Structure 1
């Protein structure tokens, strides 16, 4: 006997609509200021400002990609895509993570070049433009922080804009140093600090989205602990073929083959275990195949997947 327990409601649809609104607002801010920054960069002869404008272009691209991924992920399951297109959000997070790492490589390369040949920069224009950029990016970060950042898709766009705000802070500080002291290498040092922050954010996105694509158990869920908890149920003799993964961020899923004692009622056992998984581990999408343990009948499949979980005092099948 198997069943799928789902905890759907209307809140997710409302959240997705609100998320799109927040992302669209941040996109409008970034695109508008990006045009201003290009003009300021040309006037000030500032490569730093032009680079920041290029970084803002990647921010805008990241948000557009996130919006497209959210629209694609909202498509209902159909045909061969039985889970729908929810993984599109994870692919978007992967692209955003890779983009951040590519920007790190660019900033490090440019940083080494500028340390050797620091360019002439108009400090006052850089400072004023960077301070305005801090304000615009802070507002964009605030908008994105109101969206559901449990989605790696939203988190990817958030990290792009957040790191751009750090870049503007560094640019403003370096502009002040260049303006007051003439130490032109300050711009490069600030860029390398920002590159280190981007490396951390990009690697985190790739790591977390990679776990989803490789169908690893979501962070915070231990399959062995879950197996022990299920096996501790009075009617359960053994749990095997236990799989815990995430279809997309915020969508933990579990399947397992559960053997209950002869005479136990499978339906009640399944409902009780599904409720336990939902309440204790917050897993609302569970598929449990529940069968009776019959004398002389080996319940294990010919190609077992993963460890067996059982209480040696109850299980007639030996130690797992």
Structure 2
């Protein structure tokens, strides 16, 4: 009991430290996001606006990581028996939809500017992008200590790291415009950043939609799990197998197994639970054990 309390206390400290780092990184990134949007419109740079959209993914990732820490501390109650972990999935889905809308705007505006180039203040564009690069480096330093202890912090860290590519692209674009006068470089950089962000945004939307639809997590195969359960000693049939997740790393499973030998009911159930935990890392499991004469045992096998 004493060891368990110490582990929980250490976990609280880790979560608290991660939350502090995330808040500082969020404050830096959010402030720069506003500055970059203002700079994009003021200096007439589509590349800055496109990079701001990418910076929005950083802000969203940091917010989601903070939500995961906060809601992870809240226990299930009489109204929400699974707790509040799905709130972070809702936030991620909203973020993905918003990013698609921004990306479409940037791409449409870029097409217009290719045919009708507009004047761009390259020096202002360069200064804003350089500040963005500094903000990214500072945020990475803040998140570096916690990235190996938390999946959410690691996700935020990788988002900030990826955004550095956008900042470097804008800096190079600003330098090209300044020394060559090629204003078409600005929409070209904007499209490049948009094409860099969109595939990852699509993956985010696909994964969050799968969670909201209570689909099987992408890293698990239902047929493989069904076959593995059926191979457990004394299990003669498997049906009503359902696997879903409340968040990225909180997988649940319910299953009915048929056991012919009444003396092996407990052994079979324990074997299935151990299999799901050890091989598939599913620990939140509900297993109903049926015998051939039971009504549930006569149900057809469902996928």
Give the TM-score normalised by structure 2: 0.82
Matched residues in 1 for 2:93 and 2:38: separation?
Answer: 32
User: Which ranges in structure 2 are unaligned for 5 or more consecutive residues?
Assistant: 1-6
Instruction: Report the counterpart of residue 5 of structure 1 in structure 2.
Output: none
User: Higher relative contact order at CA 8 Å, sep ≥6: structure 1 or structure 2?
Assistant: 1
CA contact (8 A) 2:48 2:190 kept: no
Matched residues in 1 for 2:130 and 2:139: separation?
Answer: 14
Residue deviations 1:11-41, cap 9 Å, x none?
Answer: 7655543442332121122244456657866
Residues 1:109 and 2:108 aligned together: yes
Return the structure number with greater helix share: 2
Instruction: Report the counterpart of residue 195 of structure 2 in structure 1.
Output: 196
Structure 1 residues 229 and 174, CA gap change in structure 2 (3 angstroms): same
Instruction: Report the counterpart of residue 133 of structure 1 in structure 2.
Output: 132
| 1:61 CA drift (Å) | 5.9
CA contact (8 A) 2:258 2:289 kept: yes
Instruction: Report the counterpart of residue 6 of structure 1 in structure 2.
Output: none
Residue deviations 1:28-60, cap 9 Å, x none?
Answer: 222444566578668x83434762685446754
Where does 1:196-235 land on structure 2 (aligned, <5 Å)?
196-235=195-234
Residue deviations 1:105-125, cap 9 Å, x none?
Answer: 121122123223333233344
Residues 1:258 and 2:257 aligned together: yes
Instruction: Report the counterpart of residue 311 of structure 1 in structure 2.
Output: none
269-278 vs 27-36, greater mean Cα deviation: 27-36
Structure 1 residues 188 and 229, CA gap change in structure 2 (3 angstroms): same
| 1:162 CA drift (Å) | 5.0
CA contact (8 A) 2:43 2:124 kept: no
Matched residues in 1 for 2:84 and 2:108: separation?
Answer: 37
Matched residues in 1 for 2:292 and 2:11: separation?
Answer: 40
| 1:177 CA drift (Å) | 0.8
**Pair member with larger Rg:** 1
Matched residues in 2 for 1:39 and 1:21: separation?
Answer: 28
Q: Pick from 43, 46, 63 the counterpart of residue 45 of structure 1.
A: 43
Instruction: Report the counterpart of residue 168 of structure 1 in structure 2.
Output: 167
Instruction: Report the counterpart of residue 97 of structure 2 in structure 1.
Output: 98
User: Which ranges in structure 1 are unaligned for 5 or more consecutive residues?
Assistant: 1-8, 308-320
CA contact (8 A) 2:235 2:257 kept: yes
Instruction: Report the counterpart of residue 306 of structure 1 in structure 2.
Output: 302
CA contact (8 A) 1:237 1:293 kept: no
Matched residues in 2 for 1:131 and 1:278: separation?
Answer: 48
